[in-house]
Amino acid sequence: MKRREFITLLCGTITAWPLAARAQQSGRMRRIGVLMPQSENDPAWQTNIAAFATRLRELGWIDGNNARIDYRWAGGDMARMTSLAKELVELQPDVLFAAAVTTTQALRQFTLSIPIVFAQVADPVASGLVTNLAHPEGNTTGFANYEYALCGKWVETLKECVPELTRVALLFDPESVPWPLYVRQIEAAARPIGVQPIPFPVRGDLEIERALSEFATKPLGGIITIPTGGTVAHRSKIIALAAQYRLPAIYPYRFFVTDGGLMSYGNDLPEMYRQAANYVDRILRGEKPADLPAQLPTKFELVINLKTAKALGLSIPQTLRATANEVIE
C-alpha cells in the first residue's frame, strides 16, 4: 500500500471510530423503523432515504452492526400504509421515522409511546401531530415542509415567467389532509395579480388527464402542482400533459424539474432527511421527542429547466434566471 493511501485510510479510521464507539455505548442493537409513502422504485424517494441513511452512518449508526433499520414502502396505497405501520410498531423499535402526514398519522394509530420523527409534513400542528412547534409534547416531532404563506411564491414566480398568465390550474390529491390550506393561500396571492386559480382534485392519471384537457381549452393558463402524495406519485403524467398542452408549470420539488418539468420552488428534501436523521440520533442517545422542537424550513430553492422552457416557446426573464439556485441547460 502506498504511503498516501495508508495515511488516508488511517485518518478515515480515526475519524469514524469515535462515532461508531459512541453509538455502541449501550452495548445493544438499536432498532429504527422507517415508513415511506411511495414506491421503493421511485428514484426521488431513494435519493431522500439515502440522505437519511448516510447521515445515520456519519453519526455512527451502522445498519447491521449496532443498528437495524427496517424499511417499509407503501407504494401510495393507504390500506397498505396502515398495515405496514402496524407491522413496524409491533417490531417495538427504539424510534420510528415517517415521511409525510399520512405515514406519520398511520404510525400514530398504533403507538403514542414509541418516538416518531417526521419529515415532509405540511402543517404539524393543524395535522394534529404536535401540540405546538416549540414544545411538541407527546411522542412525535420533526420537520415541516412549508409555511403556507410562502405558497404565494408559486403564483408570483409563474406570473413573472409568463406575464400574460390569467388562469392557473391547482392540482392536488384530495386525500391529502392539508390541501385546503394550500389552496386558500394560493387564492389569496393570485387574485391581486390578476390570476384566477382553478382547483382540480385528482386521484390518478385518468383524472389528471381529464382535468388538464378541460383546462387547456382556454388560453393563458398555467399549472401549480401542490405537494401532495398523489401529485408526487403521478408527476410523470402531469409533466407529460403540461408539455402536450404547452402549459407552463411550477412544481414543489426539484425532482419534478429534473424529470422534465419547467420550474420548481421548494425546500431541499435530502437536507431535510439529513436533519431528521440528526433527531433520530438524538433520540437514540436519550433525548425525548417532546424536548425537540418541530422545525419549519429555512431554505428554499428555485430550479429552472431551460430545455423545457424552449420546448414551450418561453423565454425565461433574466431577472428570474439570476435568482435561480439552479438552471438546467
Residue 274 clears pLDDT 50, i.e. is over it: yes
For residues 16-29, average pLDDT: 52
pTM, two decimals, is 0.85
Q: Which CATH architecture has domain 148-267+301-328?
A: 3-Layer(aba) Sandwich (3.40)
pLDDT, one tens digit per residue, over 169-228 is 999 999 887 788 889 999 999 999 999 999 999 999 999 999 999 999 999 999 999 988
Question: How confident is residue 264, by pLDDT bands cut at 50, 70 and 90?
Answer: very high
- Report which of 112, 177, 114 is spatially closest to residue 145, judged by C-alpha positions: 177
The pLDDT assigned to 76 comes to 83
Average predicted confidence (pLDDT) for the chain: 90
Residue 134 clears pLDDT 90, i.e. is over it: yes
> Domain 25-145+269-298 has what CATH class?
alpha beta
Region(s) of the chain under CATH 3.40.50.2300: 25-145+269-298, 148-267+301-328
For residues 127-133, average pLDDT: 91
pLDDT, one tens digit per residue, over 70-111 is 999 999 888 999 999 999 999 999 999 999 888 999 999 999
